[in-house]
Amino acid sequence: MVMNNSVTEFILFGLTQDAEMQKVIFGIFLILYLMTLLGNFLIIVTIKTSQTLGSPMYFFLFYLSFADACFSTTTAPRLIVDALSQKKTISYSECMTQVFAAHFFGCMEIFVLILMAFDRYAAICKPLQYTTIMSQRVCGVLVTLAWVGSCIHSSAQIFLALRLPFCGPNVIDHYFCDLQPLLKLACSDTYVINLLVVSNSGAICMVSFLLLLVSYAVILYSLRSHSSEGRQRALSTCTSHFIVVVIFFGPCIFIYTRPATIFPVDKMVAVFYTIGTPLLNPLIYTLRNAEVKSAMKKLWCSMTSVDT
């Protein structure tokens, strides 16, 4: 596609222009990003090497951690480098690549969260048919569909981004490339494109969130007939999933279900779901999950015994 614009690079405004605050941002977000990679990598390795974490729930958790690590990597490194850089520029092609990657892995996380809710529904509401419903083959097909769906969504987003003509200015009031701030720079009427963005990203966020709420409501309703011990264990697992859903979908719905209006709080909200959520997910799933903590302890013991 021929670019209908004269802009070859953009300038990312970042979180702040204050020199002292930029140093603070560099240190804080470098630590947060490294913790995100470490936490998600630890979950990935633990699930991959553990003999006890072979259930579909942990199969999906593996892909959630992978999506989290990649999703954070699409935005955090640029924010960290730009915090100490005098020239905060990003080329047009790099900007479009970032739009594609952020929406791909963000959408992947949404679909995996839906699969995890479906798994909990099958385990709690259909216990006798669970092994048939969530067989290894079915889980593989579901994850493949999640990859395909994410690719379709991000392809639609990048198609819309490539349709935007830019003729200056080229300063993006954000710390990464996304369609909302790019729409503000386009030198043409963006009403139709913004409508398509809302109907694409916004609809995915809202429909997925409502679907997850309904699924957890059905699960909670079905727990009435379970024993107190089984109810407590199921509630513990579902509570972890529900916390992840709320802290991820809340900011996403705020950003993607409204017209192309930029608020000062938008960047901090974006920080929460692009960097905060990928960091919190490993903590939530390890601190509230006895099986994962036990598997991590075994992994640590086996590693230390090999070293000695």
pLDDT at 298 (0 to 100)? 82
Domain limits for position 135: 9-293
**Alpha-carbon span 39 to 69, nearest angstrom:** 9
Specify the CATH number for the domain of residue 83: 1.20.1070.10
Q: Is residue 304 part of a domain?
A: no
Please state, in angstroms and rounded to a whole number, the distance separating the CA atoms of residues 265 and 280: 21
List per-residue pLDDT tens for the chain, 308 residues long: 444 567 889 999 888 888 889 899 999 999 999 999 999 999 999 898 888 888 898 999 999 999 999 999 999 999 999 988 888 899 999 999 999 999 999 999 999 999 998 998 898 888 889 989 999 999 999 999 999 999 999 999 999 888 888 887 889 888 999 888 888 888 888 888 888 888 888 888 889 999 988 888 888 888 777 777 767 777 777 777 788 888 888 888 888 887 666 667 888 888 888 898 899 888 887 766 778 888 888 877 877 776 55
- Residue 11: phi and psi, rounded to 5, are -110, 125
CB 275 within 8 A of CB 37: no
Is 196 inside any structural domain?
yes
Is residue 307, in this structure, part of any structural domain at all? no
pTM (predicted TM-score): 0.89
Q: Can the peptide bond before residue 278 be classed as cis, meaning omega within 30 degrees of 0? A: no
The residues, any chain, with a CB within 8 Å of residue 68's CB and separated by 6 or more, are 36, 40, 109, 277, 278, 281, 282
pLDDT at 232: 76
What domain count does the chain have? 1
Beta-carbon count within 10 A of 98 CB: 19
- Give the pLDDT score at 261: 64
**197 belongs to a structural domain:** yes
Is residue 4 domain-resident? no
Instruction: Give the separation between CA 42 and CA 282, rounded to whole angstroms.
Output: 9
Is there a domain that residue 270 lies in?
Answer: yes
pLDDT at 1: 42
Helix (H), strand (E) at residue 254: helix 228-256
Is residue 130 situated within a structural domain? yes
Quote the pLDDT of residue 24. Answer: 93
pLDDT of residue 263: 66
In a domain, 3, yes or no: no
Per-residue CA distances from 84 to 81, 250, 302 (Å)? 6, 31, 40
